Chain A
Amino acid sequence: MTDGLLIEADGLGAVRGERILFSGLHLSLRPGEAIVLRGPNGSGKSTLLRLLAGLTAPAVGEVQPSGPHHWLGHRDGLKPYETPRQHLRHWARAWGSEADPEAVATEMGLSRPIDVPARLLSAGQRRRTALARLLLDERPIWLLDEPFTALDTNGRDLLTSLFVEHRRKGGGIIAALHGDALSETSREVVL
């Protein structure tokens, strides 16, 4: 992981319905790097992330990841009945992670609502719970679709510091973003 690319996409093209979203797209993520995907609504940012994550097969081109990734999509992936503690414990088990769900929740500022079912949590608290998954298991690649959505100022600062820490450890981030978060330290891909 120290040399070489974390993820490489070559000649990537995507079609939605009758429309070509993008084609001939090259993208490579190096350790410690962050790539921000920008573009208006419907330009294909989410589709590109889904291609990189392997959720959608590309119309043309190929994606070569060098290791496992974390995914954060539009949907938080929480069950309505699940509390943050149960959610994090579940994925820690599934991933064979030794991380302590309670410590991770505390780090994400979720110590107060840790035993509240997701259907009673605010959108920001649900998002924090979803983001806490990133800390359960160390994975070199983070693929994030508008990760700042619903977060308050404190939550945004928290996430920004997680990005810094992840990159310091040689991880890479590809995120679809609006606004100017991450802008000074990252490369941009405009769709």
Chain B
Amino acid sequence: MSSPAPIRAAFRQAIAEAWAGGAGALLPIGFFAGAAMLVPFTVGSEADQLAAIGTGVLWVALALASLVSMERLFQADLEDGTLELWAQEDCPLFLVAAAKILAHWTVSGLPLVLLTPLIGLTLQLPAEQLLPAMLAYGLGGLAFFLWGGVAGALAASVPRGGLLIALLALPLFIPTAIFGALAAEPGTVGPNLLFLAATTLFALAIAPFAASAALRLAVD
């Protein structure tokens, strides 16, 4: 087993890079919050209508928000030569890929979770639904970032690969989106959260390997 030092270094570097990019790391958060702000204006501010449509719209916003900064996640490493160095390390590339995706989620995805109570307010969500909603956005966002990371790795050598990333990742988002939206419905929160967690675990088990295979092709 290889030492955890390279993985920690990769995680730390990805965090530093996210912050060094200026507002880049905040883009998904801004996208998500912006969509949430618009929902009451487009759907109307009646509580039952908001509750019926609002969470569904927010899951769409979350899915798209998780893709907006995926293009540069691995592309920058490929262009500046960092990926070449990682690809020659003793430590498995899938762990480096996982560390980078998790770092990206920590900077751009986790704040979405913290934003959820505020968004719940605009959607007039009952207070007891806030905690499940936070959990759902956290789990679902992680799955979205993982699949987005695979797409980002596949598109690393494609200039302006944003459309390719969306086409590759969105089909993989479907199970997570279904159970995530269902988890917002009163009465079936528990089981649907479990299914949602299952889709996230599935992504966690597959995505790092898929991303590292794509990165090996990109670096060849």
Contacts and interface: CB of A to CB of B under 8 A. Distances in A.
Q: What bracket does the count of chain B residues touching chain A fall in? A: 20 to 34
Interface string B15-38: 011001100000000000000000
Given A71-B85, A78-B80, A94 B219 contact: no
A91 B82 CA distance: 11
B84 A55 contact: yes
Contacts of B128: none
Q: Is the interface of A mostly helix, strand, loop or mixed?
A: loop
A93 B80 contact: no
A170 B10 CA distance: 31
Interface string A74-98: 1111111110001000110111100
A72 to B, nearest CB: 9
A69 interface: yes
Contact of A68 (B79, B90, B219): B90
A55 B5 CA distance: 22
A77 B82 contact: yes
Contact of B17 (A75, A79, A96): A79
A56 B13 contact: no
Chain A contact patch, size range: 20 to 34
A95 B5 contact: yes
Contact of A79 (B12, B13, B88, B90): B13
B220 interface: yes
B56 interface: no
Contacts of A86: 16
B87 interface: yes
Contacts of B12: 90, 93
Interface string B64-101: 00000000000010011110110111100000000000
A181 interface: no
A190 interface: no
Nearest to A86: B16
Contacts of B5: 93-96
A109 interface: no
Nearest to B87: A55
B8 interface: yes
A174 interface: no
Nearest to B81: A75
Nearest to B5: A96
Contacts of B84: 55, 71, 73, 75, 77
B220 A94 contact: no
Contact of B80 (A53, A54, A71, A79): A79
A81 B81 contact: no
B95 to A, nearest CB: 12
Contact of B219 (A55, A69, A96): A55
B6 interface: yes
Given A79-B76, A95-B5, 11 more contacts: A53-B88, A75-B81, A77-B80, A77-B85, A78-B81, A80-B80, A81-B16, A81-B20, A91-B9, A94-B9, A94-B10
Interface of A: 53-57, 68-69, 71, 73-82, 86, 90-91, 93-96
List the 6 closest A-B pairs by CB distance, nearest first: A75-B81, A81-B20, A94-B9, A77-B81, A94-B6, A93-B9
